[in-house]
Structure 1
Amino acid sequence: MVKKKGTALQPAEFKNTTLSRLGSADRFFRTTSFKLALAYVVIVGVGFTLALSRVGENVRELIDQQIGQTLEAELKGLNDQYQEGGLNQLVNVVQRRSTAPGASIYLVTAPNGAAVAGNVQELPPGVLDQTAPAAVAISYERPGEPNVRRRALARVFVLPGNFRLLVGYDLEDRDRLGSILGSALMGSLPWLLSIGAFGGFLVARRLLQRVDAMSAKAATLLQADLTGRLPLSGAGDEIDRLAHNLNAMLDRIARLVEGIKQVSDNIAHDLRTPLTRLRNNAEHALFARDGDSAARPAALEQALEKVIEEADGLIRIFNALLLIARAEASSSSSEGFAELDGAALAADVAELYEPSAEERGVTLKVEAPEAEKFRGHRELVSQALANLIDNALKYGEPTLPGELGEVTVAVGGDARFIEIAVGDRGPGIPAADRERVLERFVRLEASRSRPGSGLGLSLAAAVARLHGGTLRVEDNAPGLKVTLRLPREASQ
């Protein structure tokens, strides 16, 4: 007979596999879910034991109470028999009842302690002297059962002539019921613990699988892959809520990383031109130094003014970037927030731009019929509103010849939000570009020839996000309307 070749693991492979399994089992037993399941099984087992023990005690108390009531009724009936027919009738009744099947015991004794009638053969010394009104526990022997000690609850009644009557109830049934309950406890407790342990194992295993899936996905995120997200089971439990919040955090991190990358690219692209102009103006000032002595001061002054102008422009750009970064970094904090009046704030900012509006021949109006209270950051909201008005004045010139320019700042809202809308009568922005203009350094082709950095709307959008609000870019028919919508109560 030819033996088939086996596929047994080599010693090293077997060792690695065994260690892997042991490590996996050890990791499972160290999980919080397994510990919680184990604690739950122990608590259920202890609770079940205490509950069943309490049930046994209540059953015993109920049986003892019923026995006491039965003994009271027996004594009353026998006492009536004694009163009616004397000792002889009592003895006859006791003798008849003693032979009937049941758990009741009876004994009538003479003054010298000798048994006259009953189904009790022997009692411990002193039992007949216990004439308390409540039943007491005794031990006794029945006729025909020598050396078999039984337990009973009994009462002793003293008759005239020092005769004594003992009426009791055997506790064999009560003890048997207690034994049944004890057996039920001992028999069902292992099953309960086994089922609980098995259920805890399944629950812990399920939780561990979900946690392992989340850990595996998190490991991929550590490799700079921010596109992945933690898996959701759809159960809506606390693990799903945790994964949802972590995914939201990852979304925000991805946006910030993308924003940093975009800002870096935009800075490299859009600051090249002003830096080049700054260098050229400085170079022109250097060349003017060697020119005609009469024209030298004027040429130097003109060149330095251009250098200062370009430097101021660069400073404005970096200030705007810092304000945006500050707003985005403070997106989870309400530090610096105070109670503000939107109407007064709009009027104050518009007043600063009235001279510029007059120079451009544009009418600047503020429509704020009443105070509009809200909580916000005064400096950032003022800067955002200033950017919106400045954009409206620069890009909102009428398209038709002879038409007068108009910029309107309207303040309103509802019970939950305040809205500050800045509208103009200019050419507006195509619908396809209204979301894109909220990004940093984005300037449409129509505005390339005008001064600006493309950061005004980005700052306003960042301020809106800081307050838990939104910035809407809409058609003003004709013109453009940009609405800053902020909650009246600061978001937590």
Structure 2
Amino acid sequence: MTRLTRYTRTTAFKLSLLYLGVFTVLSAGLLYYVARNTDHLMSEQVVQTVDAELKGLSDIYVRGGVRAVVETIDRRSRHPDASLYLLTDFAGNALVGNIARLPTMVLEEADGGLRRVRYTRMGPDVEDIERQAMVRTFELRGGYRLLVGRDLGDQLRFSNLLGNALRVWLIGVVVMGVMTWVFVSRRVMKRIDEMSATSRTIMNGDLSGRLTVRGNDDEFDRLAVNLNAMLGRIELLMQSMRDVTDNIAHDLKTPLTRLQTRVETALREAKGEDGYREALESVLDDGDHLLRIFNALLRIARIESMAPGADMEPSDLKALVLEIADLYEPLLEDEGGHFEIDVSDGLKTVCNKDLISQALVNLIENALKYGHPENGSLIVSLSAKSDGGRIVLSVSDNGPGIPEAEQDRVKDRFVRLDDSRTEPGTGLGLSLVKAVARLHGGELRFKNEAPGLTASIDLEQAPGQDGSDHERHDGSDKTGIPTA
């Protein structure tokens, strides 16, 4: 009973009941309309047939008298069809016809009106049962009365057939409606129960739970796909929050401990103003390092919490890339390196220019810090090209690269490979680039070039831009750099 009550309270049951009621009423109305009009049409045909018979017999009577009418009626009465005839004299005695019994009032009221009567048919092969007919009665000269009619048996059988069809149809509609409701309710309730179970799993702390996608692309599949994407985003944000918490607990413990140690050492060992000043400067350096970490974390958190499309505007990436190249080319040349630029025309997109600039700066800074080759000078390449409707921004170097097994891990917060721990940094630069790429619907990718490493992010290109024209600058002549 509880399960039945649960089903009857569902929207599927209410909708099925509504559809069943509407469809039943429409079906009944349609069949009633067909039956009514069919009966009316058959009645008109009966009237037309009776009138035609009367007219024909009247003409025969005028031309040949009673004898000719008797012969005609006798000949027609022998055919087993639906036509009815009866001719009586002035005393009411039957002269000819195929009607055995008939209410006397029908012959007495020979006014030519159309009547529905009950009668018994005459004939050796006819059952002695009452039938229904439509008749007209006329009085002829000499006191004769002529009755012509049409048996309604076929019409009544057709009406009964339609009535039975209506009943069978309504029963079938009800049965099919109930079966449809049971099927739909079970299917809908099963999907809803699956969603409820997944929701309970997620509420219990398992964020990896996902809704089932059956692959038939119905409304439940589309809802499941969207909810799964939302759950994936929530899981990623929660995992990021846990990672940040864990990373802060581990990675900030060392600088905080070092800061505390320096203060204690200064209080215990420092002598004079110079000693305390040196200790305070060391403490300020550690504090600045901590502030940089917190600022980077906050910026990454803000980027990851931004909605796609937020604070974005149409931009020309060629001008942006060349502007960054102008800033870093002199710096690299001062260090004895070489800066190359490969930029296509028509790189129009909708983006957050500040964040894209920051991502490129981070990638270039990483190349400057960790991309130095063992022999020779550093070569950094900045590329912006169109590829399959996407704009790919790449920064390459000719250094040792990153092992493939570590390429996904270095995108996480505070991750620094062993070879890079001697360089200053927070381990958050690539995490910020990854967040910027994801905000713009792209991804941060690494590719070892042997030698060197290429780090790239991709953005959606504005429609109608092909980026087919290229301009290249190898850093040998700064005046040759195209300007916006």
TM-score (norm: length of structure 1): 0.77
SS in 1 for 2:414: coil
Map of 2:116 onto structure 1: 139
SS in 2 for 1:353: helix
Map of 1:103 onto structure 2: 82
Instruction: Summarize the alignment of residues 291-306 of structure 1 with structure 2, pairs less than 5 Å apart.
Output: 291=272, 295=274, 300=277, 305-306=281-282
Map of 1:426 onto structure 2: 399
Task: Give the residue type in structure 2 aligned to 1:264.
Answer: T
- 1:324: Cα distance to partner? 1.9
Q: For residues 190-216 of structure 1, give each alpha carbon's deviation from its aligned partner in whole angstroms, at most 9, with x where no partner exists.
A: 354245324533442344344334433
**Cα distance in structure 2, aligned partners of 1:346 and 1:485:** 14
Identify which range, 226-235 or 455-464, moves more after superposition: 226-235
Which of the numbers 163, 177, 182 marks the counterpart of 1:182?
163
- 1:100: Cα distance to partner? 4.1
**Cα distance in structure 1, aligned partners of 2:252 and 2:325:** 30
SS in 1 for 2:426: coil
Instruction: Summarize the alignment of residues 78-477 of structure 1 with structure 2, pairs less than 5 Å apart.
Output: 78=57, 81=60, 85=64, 89-90=68-69, 92-98=71-77, 100-106=79-85, 122-123=105-106, 128=111, 138-140=115-117, 142=119, 150-152=132-134, 167-187=148-168, 189-190=170-171, 192-231=173-212, 237-279=218-260, 291=272, 295=274, 300=277, 305-330=281-306, 332-400=307-375, 403-477=376-450
Call closer, same or farther: CA 1:95–1:340 in 2, change over 3 Å: same
Task: Give the residue type in structure 2 aligned to 1:54.
Answer: Y
Task: Give the residue type in structure 1 aligned to 2:153.
Answer: E
Which of the numbers 15, 26, 39 marks the counterpart of 2:5?
26
Call closer, same or farther: CA 1:217–1:143 in 2, change over 3 Å: closer
- 1:149: Cα distance to partner? 8.7
- 1:65: Cα distance to partner? 5.2
**Contact map agreement 1:109 1:165 (CA 8 A) in 2:** yes
Identify which range, 224-233 or 257-266, moves more after superposition: 224-233
**Cα distance in structure 1, aligned partners of 2:78 and 2:120:** 11
Task: Give the residue type in structure 2 aligned to 1:443.
Answer: R
Task: Give the residue type in structure 2 aligned to 1:314.
Answer: L
- 1:406: Cα distance to partner? 1.7
- 1:473: Cα distance to partner? 0.6
- 1:345: Cα distance to partner? 1.6
Map of 2:477 onto structure 1: none
Map of 1:3 onto structure 2: none
SS in 2 for 1:340: strand
**Cα distance in structure 1, aligned partners of 2:145 and 2:382:** 111
**Contact map agreement 1:234 1:240 (CA 8 A) in 2:** yes
Task: Give the residue type in structure 2 aligned to 1:328.
Answer: E
Q: For residues 318-343 of structure 1, give each alpha carbon's deviation from its aligned partner in whole angstroms, at most 9, with x where no partner exists.
A: 2222222222222x431212111121
Q: For residues 365-386 of structure 1, give each alpha carbon's deviation from its aligned partner in whole angstroms, at most 9, with x where no partner exists.
A: 3321313011112222222122
SS in 2 for 1:325: helix
Q: For residues 1-27 of structure 1, give each alpha carbon's deviation from its aligned partner in whole angstroms, at most 9, with x where no partner exists.
A: xxxxxxxxxxxxxxxxxxxxx433322
Call closer, same or farther: CA 1:360–1:66 in 2, change over 3 Å: farther
Structure 2: state its 5+ residue gaps. 123-129, 464-484
- 1:257: Cα distance to partner? 2.3
Call closer, same or farther: CA 1:453–1:91 in 2, change over 3 Å: same
Query: What is the percentage of aligned positions where both structures have the same residue?
Result: 43
Structure 1: state its 5+ residue gaps. 1-21, 131-136
**Contact map agreement 1:464 1:470 (CA 8 A) in 2:** yes
- 1:445: Cα distance to partner? 0.6
Q: For residues 14-63 of structure 1, give each alpha carbon's deviation from its aligned partner in whole angstroms, at most 9, with x where no partner exists.
A: xxxxxxxx433322322333333434443443344234323423532443
**Cα distance in structure 1, aligned partners of 2:91 and 2:436:** 108
**Contact map agreement 1:104 1:169 (CA 8 A) in 2:** yes
Call closer, same or farther: CA 1:467–1:129 in 2, change over 3 Å: same
- 1:315: Cα distance to partner? 2.8
Q: For residues 284-340 of structure 1, give each alpha carbon's deviation from its aligned partner in whole angstroms, at most 9, with x where no partner exists.
A: 787899615xx57xx73x65554444433333322222222222222x431212111
- 1:176: Cα distance to partner? 2.8
**Cα distance in structure 2, aligned partners of 1:429 and 1:386:** 19
**Cα distance in structure 1, aligned partners of 2:138 and 2:396:** 108
- 1:451: Cα distance to partner? 1.1
Call closer, same or farther: CA 1:166–1:455 in 2, change over 3 Å: farther
Call closer, same or farther: CA 1:128–1:255 in 2, change over 3 Å: same
Identify which range, 356-365 or 433-442, moves more after superposition: 356-365
Task: Give the residue type in structure 2 aligned to 1:128.
Answer: D
Call closer, same or farther: CA 1:175–1:451 in 2, change over 3 Å: same
Task: Give the residue type in structure 2 aligned to 1:123.
Answer: V
- 1:167: Cα distance to partner? 4.8
**Contact map agreement 1:107 1:116 (CA 8 A) in 2:** yes
Call closer, same or farther: CA 1:87–1:420 in 2, change over 3 Å: farther
Task: Give the residue type in structure 2 aligned to 1:475.
Answer: N
- 1:188: Cα distance to partner? 5.2
SS in 2 for 1:93: helix
- 1:417: Cα distance to partner? 0.8
**Cα distance in structure 1, aligned partners of 2:250 and 2:316:** 40
Identify which range, 388-397 or 187-196, moves more after superposition: 187-196
Query: How many pairs are equivalent?
Result: 454
- 1:139: Cα distance to partner? 2.3
Map of 2:21 onto structure 1: 42
**Contact map agreement 2:308 2:440 (CA 8 A) in 1:** no
Q: For residues 219-253 of structure 1, give each alpha carbon's deviation from its aligned partner in whole angstroms, at most 9, with x where no partner exists.
A: 23322133444445565543344344434433333
SS in 2 for 1:190: helix
Map of 1:12 onto structure 2: none
**Contact map agreement 2:112 2:136 (CA 8 A) in 1:** no
**Cα distance in structure 1, aligned partners of 2:268 and 2:75:** 144
**Cα distance in structure 2, aligned partners of 1:304 and 1:204:** 73
